[in-house]
Structure 1
Amino acid sequence: MTGVGRLDGKRTLVIGGGGAGIGRSIVRSCAAAGAAVAVADVDAARATEAAEELLAAGHVAHALSGDVRSREQLDGMIEGAAERLGGLDVLITVVGGQVAFVPAVRLHEMADADWDTVYELNLRYVARAVRRVLRLFLEQGTGGAVVGIGSVTGFMAAPMQAGYGAAKAGLHSLARTVAAEYAADGIRMNVVAGGAISTAVNAGVAAAWVPEIPAGRYGTSEEMAAAAVYLASDEARYVTGQQIVLDGGVSVRGPFPQ
């Protein structure tokens, strides 16, 4: 599941929630696959704990903290990762969602401020991070890979999650544009689109959603991490501008459960 050796020598930054949930699984899987990892999280204690876990297992790891909504802090985390790791080969963006940040309501009931929050945490920071890391990859001249954590709500109906779905659709559009503009430079961007993935946020409704999933279960953060490792690796060097969908068949049934 971790793809041992797939990321040997890859200098990887996992930004936005690298210290917990899906991000923590991605950090572990990247390290197990051979990458040197910079862990970035808004919670400095979580980032430190994740890095120390990797260090104790004999991996190369560094902890960084900052708020991805701040341009200065976001740039600082990217530059800090490149400085500590001696450059960057892979950027994986994680943080996102809606129900963890704002109420799940019908579109006409959604406040402007809540829409902005969802957009900021699912697309705007990713676009900023990608622009910054593209400049870094071009300066290095060695190519690079970007993996964004997306959602099936980006291409299927998502009742009560219109802002989230619109932002995730934008994420895949961003990946396609990066593919078209930078493939000749050896730079790739892809998306892992998750369906119902077991996290602390959705634990309260897990049992209710299972009948809506053809596979009969939730996906795991480890399965999301395995897909991210593949897309970051040279095994996927001819894959760019794409989405890998991990949803247990939800998107063939639709719409996404409320």
Structure 2
Amino acid sequence: MAVVSRLDGKRVLVIGGGGGGIGRAIVRSCADAGATVAVADLDAARAAEAVDELRAAGRVAHALSGDVRSGGQLDGMIVGAAERLGGLDTLVTVVGGQVAFVPAVRLHEMADEDWETVYDVNLRYVARAVRRVLRLFLEQGTGGSIVGIGSVTGFMAAPTQAAYGAAKAGLYSLARTVAAEYAADGIRMNVVAGGAISTAVNAASSDEWVPEIPAGRYGTSEEVAAAAVYLASDEARYITGQQIVLDGGVSVRGPFPG
């Protein structure tokens, strides 16, 4: 679904699960659109596999590995990507979710450590990555784009996923602040807010959620990737601090299925 040459000459880092799932689809689409890509994943083998796939197709790509919850490793991945690609034009932050990390329970039942885990993988690492890449963009003096992968739970009720929704709301607030503070520097930040997207994590519950989706189906990783590519491209150069909602109409009905 990528548009060839939409990202021609762009240098893109996809961090936080770039080797699989939605991240892998974003990596493919960015490369298909003409970008050189750095793929960062906790699983080094998975990142290498994604890069091997791109190189086999004649693309330029580099693999990085590390834990986004570690400030030192996160900074190292960003600096390493810039060194390998000769600079950076776009940062895409991917990893997130709740049910893959902690139980989905009502708010009063949620343990403090589970709340912290959800914030770590949905907001804290993104905020740190954004701060580091902002410094890099300013040093380069050429502007840049940041795309966060968010969720409709950031602006809808999210039964049994309160921590996830609160973190994603914070992600959108972060994007608006970046827009206000750095637009004059040619730096943009936007969010792709997904609804029910087909992934390995939610495959088991897909049938029960479909009736709640006006479009009558789950979204795909490739559709999320297409939106990310658009926001990273110069076609979206006047868009900043915004959310593109990819949910098949779920948010006009609400609440998000628990």
TM over 0.5: yes
Deviating beyond 4 angstroms after TM superposition, the runs of 4 or more aligned structure 1 residues are: none
Taking only aligned residues, the RMSD between alpha carbons, in angstroms, comes to 0.3
Q: Give, in whole Å, the separation in 1 of the partners of 2:211 and 2:106.
A: 23
Write out per-residue CA displacement over residues 126-152 of structure 1, whole angstroms, 9 at most, x where no aligned residue. Answer: 000000000000000000000000000
Q: Residue 201 of structure 1 aligns to which amino acid in structure 2?
A: V
Q: Give, in whole Å, the separation in 1 of the partners of 2:85 and 2:34.
A: 14
The equivalent of 1:168 in structure 2 is: 168
Write out per-residue CA displacement over residues 183-239 of structure 1, whole angstroms, 9 at most, x where no aligned residue. Answer: 000000000000000000000000000000000000000000000000000000000
Following superposition, the deviation at residue 3 of structure 1 comes to 1.5
Q: Give, in whole Å, the separation in 2 of the partners of 1:171 and 1:5.
A: 29
Indicate yes or no: 2:50 matched with 1:50. Answer: yes
Q: Give, in whole Å, the separation in 2 of the partners of 1:72 and 1:186.
A: 27
Q: Give, in whole Å, the separation in 1 of the partners of 2:45 and 2:76.
A: 18
**Structure 1 gap ranges (5+):** none
Indicate yes or no: 2:113 matched with 1:123. Answer: no
Q: Give, in whole Å, the separation in 2 of the partners of 1:246 and 1:86.
A: 32
The equivalent of 1:254 in structure 2 is: 254
Q: Residue 196 of structure 2 aligns to which amino acid in structure 1?
A: A
The equivalent of 2:234 in structure 1 is: 234
Counterpart secondary structure, 2:241: coil
The equivalent of 1:156 in structure 2 is: 156
Q: Give, in whole Å, the separation in 2 of the partners of 1:20 and 1:238.
A: 30
Q: Residue 3 of structure 1 aligns to which amino acid in structure 2?
A: V
Following superposition, the deviation at residue 4 of structure 1 comes to 1.1
The equivalent of 1:33 in structure 2 is: 33
**TM-score (norm. length: structure 1):** 1.00
Q: Give, in whole Å, the separation in 2 of the partners of 1:132 and 1:95.
A: 17
- Identical aligned pairs, as a percentage? 86
Q: Residue 253 of structure 2 aligns to which amino acid in structure 1?
A: R
Following superposition, the deviation at residue 116 of structure 1 comes to 0.2
The equivalent of 1:70 in structure 2 is: 70
Q: Residue 162 of structure 1 aligns to which amino acid in structure 2?
A: A
**TM-score (norm. length: structure 2):** 1.00
Q: Give, in whole Å, the separation in 2 of the partners of 1:170 and 1:220.
A: 24
The equivalent of 1:102 in structure 2 is: 102
Q: Give, in whole Å, the separation in 1 of the partners of 2:53 and 2:215.
A: 33
